[in-house]
Copies of this chain bind each other. A is one copy, B any other.
Amino acid sequence: CLINILIEEFSDLKYNFLKHSVDSNVINGDLAIPYLFWMLLNIIPVLIGSVLVTYVEPIAGGSGIPQVKCYLNGVKIPRLIRIKTLAVKVVGVATSVIGGLAGGKEGPMIHSGAIIAAGISQGKSTTFNKDFGVLRYFRDDHEKRDFVVGGAAAGVAAAFGAPFGGVIFSLEEVASFWNQLLIWRTMVASVISSFVLNIVLSAYYGQSSLVYPGLFNLGKFEPLPFTYLELPIFVCMGVIGGLQGALWNFVNIKLYIFRTKYVTKKWEKVLDALFIAALSATFGSILMYSLNDCKPLGNDPIKYPVQLFCEDNEYNAVAALWFQTPEASVKSLFHDPPGSHKILSLALFVLVYYPLSCLTFGLNVSLGIFIPMLLVGAGWGRLTGMTITSIFPTMNLHPGKYALIGAAAQLGGVLRMTISLSVILIESTGNISFAFPLIVTLITAKWVGDYFNEGIYDTQIAVWRVPMLPWSLEPMFQKLNAYNIMNTPVVTIKLRAKAKYIYDILKNNHYNGFPVVDDNGCLRGLILRWQLVVILTQKLFVEKKRFWEKDVSIETFRKEYPRYPSISDVKLHMDKRDYTVDLKMFMKPSPHSITKDTSVPRIFQLFRALGLRHLPVVSVNNEVVGIITRKDFLKYHNH
Contact = CB atoms under 8 A, between A and B. Distances in A.
Interface string A388-426: 000000000000000000000000000000110011001
Contact of A592 (B135, B422, B606): B606
A341 B255 CA distance: 68
Contacts of A518: 620
A387 interface: no
Contacts of A195: 436, 440
Interface residues of A, number: 70
Q: Which of A168, A184, A426 counts the most B-chain CB atoms under 10 A from its CB?
A: A184
A264 to B, nearest CB: 34
Nearest to A133: B479
B622 A439 contact: no
A141 to B, nearest CB: 13
Nearest to A479: B133
Interface string A13-38: 00000000000000000000000000
A518 B609 CA distance: 29
A231 B191 CA distance: 14
Given A180-B471, A187-B419, A478-B132, A433 B433 contact: no
Given A164-B423, A210-B228, A590-B597, A436 B194 contact: yes
Interface stretch (A85-93, A171-179, A290-298, A568-576): A171-179
A187 B439 contact: yes
B210 A440 contact: no
A300 to B, nearest CB: 24
Interface string A420-442: 00110011001111011001100
A430 B426 CA distance: 11
B594 A590 contact: yes
A522 interface: yes
B601 A135 contact: yes
Contacts of A198: 436
A372 interface: no
A183 interface: yes
Contacts of A594: 590, 592
Interface in A163-217: 163-164, 167-168, 171-172, 178-181, 183-184, 187-188, 191, 194-195, 198, 208-211
A440 B192 CA distance: 9
Contacts of A168: 168
A227 interface: yes
A209 B191 contact: no
A382 B621 CA distance: 70
A135 B599 contact: yes
A590 B598 contact: yes
A589 interface: yes
A225 interface: yes
A120 to B, nearest CB: 19
Contacts of A610: 605-606, 609
B597 A439 contact: no
A595 interface: yes
B172 A418 contact: no
B210 A183 contact: no
A524 interface: yes
Given A181-B472, A187-B443, A620 B524 contact: yes
Nearest to A198: B436
Nearest to A419: B187
Contacts of A225: 209, 211
Contact of A620 (B605, B609, B622): B622
A226 interface: yes
Interface string A245-259: 000000000000000
A183 B419 contact: yes
A179 B471 contact: yes
A621 B446 CA distance: 51
A208 B163 CA distance: 34
B595 A590 contact: yes
A94 B599 CA distance: 49
Q: Which of A178, A522, A598 counts the most B-chain CB atoms under 10 A from its CB?
A: A178
A518 B620 CA distance: 10
Given A435-B163, A621-B522, A622-B621, A443 B172 contact: no
Contacts of A589: 597-598
Interface string A131-166: 010110000000000000000000000000001100
Contact of A172 (B180, B194, B419, B439): B180
A446 B191 CA distance: 14
B181 A178 contact: no
Given A226-B209, A601-B135, A426 B436 contact: no
Contacts of A181: 471-472
Contacts of A172: 180, 183
Given A179-B471, A209-B225, A524-B620, 18 more contacts: A135-B599, A135-B601, A163-B436, A163-B439, A164-B422, A167-B419, A171-B171, A187-B418, A191-B439, A191-B440, A195-B436, A198-B436, A209-B227, A518-B620, A592-B592, A592-B606, A621-B621, A621-B622
5 contacts: A164-B435, A181-B472, A183-B419, A209-B226, A431-B432
10 closest cross-chain pairs (CB), A and B: A609-B609, A590-B595, A590-B598, A180-B471, A622-B622, A432-B432, A187-B419, A590-B597, A609-B610, A178-B178
